[in-house]
Chain A
Amino acid sequence: MRNIETEVLVIGGGATGTGCARDLALRGIRCVLVEKGDLTHGTTGRYHGLLHSGGRYVTKDPQSATECARENAILRRIMPHCLEDTAGFFVITPWDDPEYGDLFAANCLKTGVPAQELTLAEMLRREPALNPQISRVFEVQDGSADSFLATHATAQAAREYGAQILTYHNIIGLVREGDRVTGAVLEDLRSGERVQVRCAYVLNAAGAWAGKIAALAGLTVTVVPGKGTMVAMNHRMINTVVNRCKLPADGDILVPIHTVAVIGTTDVHVPDPDTFDITPEEIQLMLAEGEKLVPGFSQYRALRAWAGVRPLYKDVDGASDRDLPRTYKLLDHATRDGVQGMLSIVGGKWTTYRLMAEEAVNEVARYLGNTKPCRTAEEVLPVPVTAQRSPAPPLAGSAMRYPRHEPAAPDGPRLNGVRAPIGPQPIYGLDAGFYYLGQHLADVEREHAQDELICECELVTRERVLAALASGAANLDDIRRDVRMGMGPCQGGWCIYRTAALLFEQRVADGVSSANTNAALLHFLQERWKGLRPVLWGDQLRQARLDEQIYVGLLGVHRLQAIAEPGGGLVTDDSR
């Protein structure tokens, strides 16, 4: 039994939890973050990667819209390396109410969401794959975000300021002394060791799992896990985030992120955030809706499908999940339930994670008597070692064709109706150090590292896999989240065994049991398979058959089960 003394225990290693840890650390408050899996193991690592402009919420949830617009500008400043400045379109297709365009524009103005109307010719020039029957288009400041990288960068910042991050630690119980929460009992999933945490305050940032955590303290928090299914398509047929200009519904967003385009999402109430399935109907719906945005969409190759669970908070009984507020809620259990020393953060969305953390930590700081101001909006996040960076290539020729995305002027957003000049201006993204699609290709090219690739599809070099291992990746899935290994078209067909070899070597070098590399390999293959199953037709079926030939036919991986050793510091059990 280990003992840890700290001021604040943060539960949940997603965007919100790590955001809270960083905020606490920046204010000089000692904290420990506990996460039962890897960072971003929950909802943060399973979302489509949209950096919201706020446009999606201008009508139904204006407060969310305003928050998104503000946070969007802040995130662009503090984590450009985690974001791609794709810009976003809101398009009115023949299936949408044409009347909504004017309302949308008016509400953008009201909520402070910068937007401008584009000509259809300009839209098609920039995105030739879009449906030519689209009747109106508005441009907004959407972007795409690498939520793995952003969370790692946030955690790294927190650590640099003294926070302790414990991944693969499960909460077994919260310790309550009378009407006060005073600590927790954890299990280190790598060693099986128990850890006793004593703290002055518990910050429950477990997202969709917040209800389960609250229950450990005998409290009732009703979080409605809203399952959102997404399909990643093999390549980016569009390079701008495309939203349907209508009230939010299923399958109405197409997000270009890294090398893929993700269509999302559904919204289905599920009783348990750990147990859900993806139905063929959901996939069909996604493809059919995608077809409305990009004709021929369903003939593009679907790479993978997965689902995340939204942490929607249920105050009262809503009609449907979409009508539940996207805005987050802070539940101070002292005022709500008469239990001191615990706060639950529920609801919210990735784009506003920093704001949620700020407000939650404000409460905690007040409780602890800390008066230092929040600095998370000012300090730029560090670049994790796994995120290789190259200087942006020089702007040249045809590159000079995207309009600059000016931050919203203090007196209000730019307006639709006022046609902003669209001409040869530099790409904001490359100027400001944003991630850009060609980054890894440029890196490999510059380093002549083509023969050093472990994951060919996502251009992951041996060096980057080793960096992920060195920074504590506990299984192949962790390496995937760090460097995108196995996330490309072949879904690990060629890189899983290579990465497993590196993992094995690392463990031999570390002098720990290496036989469990087999378990890690089997676990990861199953993880990939899970996402492939819903999209097994056409090209991806061909791919899956080839992968099966490699692993089962050639390598006989099914016979590995007998000699696969669990444990040894590699956590590969998903039933936790």
Chain B
Amino acid sequence: MDHRELALTQALDHCIKCNLCTSACPVVAVTDQFPGPKYVGPQAERFRRAGQPVPDASVDYCSGCRVCNQVCPTGVPIAELNARARGAMVAERGLPFRNWIIARADLVGGLSAGPQAPLVNLGLKMAPARWVIEQLLGIHHQAPLPMASTYRFRSWFKRHQAAQPATKGQVVYFHGCATNYYEPHVGQAAVAVLEHNGFEVILAEQNCCGLPLISNGDFKGATSAHAANVRKLLPYVRRGMPIVGTSTSCTLTLKEEAPEILGLHDEAVRAVAAGTYDIFEFLRQLAERGELKTDFRPMPRRLPYHPPCQYRAHRLGKPAMDVLALVPGLQLDESHADCCGIAGTYGLKREKYQIAQDVGQSLFEFVRRAGADLVLCDSETCRWQITHATGVPSQHPIEVLAAAYGLRR
């Protein structure tokens, strides 16, 4: 057995049953459906046996927010154990169609984005249509579904020309599905910021990072998605080009989720993981080397900011806050909330929508109390959730940074 696999297998042994994770788990706090991270994680794992029918199903209520991992005093990767348990369950019982479709961000986004987008969006706003979707697919009629873009980020990029020649080399931009199909403006801001700092942005071929597949337990689908991305990105990594992404979930998947949860440990996977950066991680490194441009316009604003759960796994601290602190006048108030509740596709599901709303309550109140006309968050599904629950528009911090540089379109 590979030593990394051995370490994960042995990880459940570290649990001392202290239940700190159970007390801290935001899902446990709002529902009886989830018996808690310790219960479904290191505890239940001792009763599961490969090759025999999976005895339990409540692990599916784990949202994967990783608060448990963070509070665990003995370092049990509880969220990873849970993800694997869900994967084993899906491998045995099969993937419900709802989860199959909801996990295919590529497919759904591809069908929605384009000239037909206004029609799709209109449909998704109509109550009867949402009712039908809920009945047929099990996607809650109030779930915060994103609005499709009339154009794709990639088609915009093809026509795009850098304003100035590159002086610092090339970076590969990993836009992810959300930017490509729903929020091209996030990608445009990222490209603008990177180019402003002297980089040539390369748009490598890429596909869905596979995170929704992982979190829905479709490990087969996720493994091929990751293999495809590794194949597409490896040549750039080999040439020493960093891969930079604006979606904290996509970058986390490339860096850690896919290798660890799917058990992919070959050299190519590791090389891509090592070469991938969250965009603010990348910018903060520039700033630390004194290479980040600081020609910011003063921005006298005070904005609420929610660091998404994925940063817990990135173990980067709060790079967006660090970088935006350089903008004169801009003040960010950190939410200190555990989780917005959405957890990717979790809060879209009929049976989990209310749980997700309840989990996010303290965050939503924080945003409402802030009274600002804008809230910042690095993760797209979190932004959609926050805006859905509070009515306050949300942006990726990179958009604010672009504006501070005066690069807003």
Contacts and interface: CB of A to CB of B under 8 A. Distances in A.
Contact of A398 (B9, B18, B44, B91): B91
Contact of A445 (B15, B58, B74, B93): B58
Contact of B93 (A396, A439, A450, A543): A396
A94 interface: no
Size category, A interface? 35 or more
A401 interface: yes
Nearest to B58: A445
A440 B43 CA distance: 12
A236 B53 contact: no
| Dominant secondary structure at the A interface | loop
A235 B17 contact: no
A295 interface: yes
Contacts of A126: 51
B56 interface: yes
B46 A235 contact: yes
Contact of A442 (B13, B15, B17, B56): B56
A394 B53 contact: yes
B17 A489 contact: yes
A493 B45 CA distance: 19
Contacts of A259: 46-47
A494 to B, nearest CB: 6
B100 interface: no
B326 to A, nearest CB: 42
A234 B47 CA distance: 11
A192 interface: no
A549 to B, nearest CB: 10
Interface stretch (A145-153, A296-304, A409-417): A296-304
A457 B16 CA distance: 10
A542 interface: yes
A546 B56 CA distance: 29
Given A237-B9, A445-B58, A399 B17 contact: no
Interface string A418-446: 00000000010010000011111110010
Contacts of B16: 489-490, 493, 539, 542-543, 546
B92 interface: yes
Contacts of A128: 1
Contacts of B56: 438, 441-442, 445
Contacts of A397: 91-94
B13 A450 contact: no
Interface string B29-53: 0001001101100011111111111
Given A234-B13, A259-B47, 17 more contacts: A234-B46, A239-B51, A395-B53, A397-B91, A397-B94, A427-B51, A430-B53, A438-B53, A445-B58, A456-B38, A490-B16, A539-B13, A539-B16, A542-B16, A543-B16, A546-B16, A546-B17
20 contacts: A126-B51, A239-B50, A295-B1, A299-B6, A396-B93, A398-B92, A399-B51, A399-B52, A401-B51, A438-B55, A441-B55, A456-B17, A456-B43, A457-B17, A459-B47, A493-B16, A494-B19, A539-B13, A539-B14, A542-B16
Interface of B: 1, 3, 6, 9-10, 12-19, 32, 35-36, 38-39, 43-58, 74, 91-94
